[in-house]
Amino acid sequence: MGLWDAVRGRTQPRRNDLDALFHVPSAAITLQTALGLEPTGQASVCYRSAAGAAFAQTQAEVEALLRDDVDAPDVSVTRDDYGFTWLVVTGDRSDVPGLCTDLHAVNTTLELNGFAGSLLCSLVPFADAGGRRVGLTYLYKQGTFYPFAPSGEQERDTLLELSVRDLLDKELPMEPDLQRWLAVWKAPGL
């Protein structure tokens, strides 16, 4: 950023770091040992579907890429109540690295095909024996994570979210702006 941009109040957008997804497996161990939160075996990518053949072909390529793997996970595509598309990968609960690799592949493929503007977030959900659920949510445009813990129809467990943030602050790039901790109601796995 140059001096003229600084004077005019322009800032450069933060670059995402999709490789940050590969820190989630170590964060999963921390969540298991400290809070009893276990991986659910699901992970998902949320994006805005674009109209047209190019996007449809890219989405088909992403699904084929995931399904053609020797240890192929189950792949499904759903739409939420807000019109966003969720590509959901379901695999072995203990294979968090594999799930994160799949998320990385989806994000990278969409990005390389010109649909980076459509990517919203990636989510890796965890749950404990008492029914508490929390999703580690990766904000694509910010390159940061935040925890989202629904506790009811339209309620959040803010204490759990803050506990997870404080616990994982050294392991993951956590989103410092709490206003960006958006609720992802009815997200797959939560």
pLDDT attached to residue 51 = 79
pLDDT attached to residue 18 = 78
pLDDT attached to residue 49 = 81
Dihedral (CA of 43, 141, 175, 18) sign: positive
pLDDT attached to residue 3 = 56
pLDDT attached to residue 83 = 87
Rounded distance, CA 50 to CA 45, Å?
Answer: 15
Chosen CATH of 15-180 out of 1.10.3470, 3.30.70, 3.40.1000, 3.90.1150: 3.30.70
Q: What are the 10-residue block averages of pLDDT along the chain, 190 residues in total?
A: 59 66 96 96 91 84 80 86 91 90 90 89 96 96 96 94 97 96 92
pLDDT attached to residue 124 = 97
pLDDT attached to residue 64 = 83
pLDDT attached to residue 177 = 95
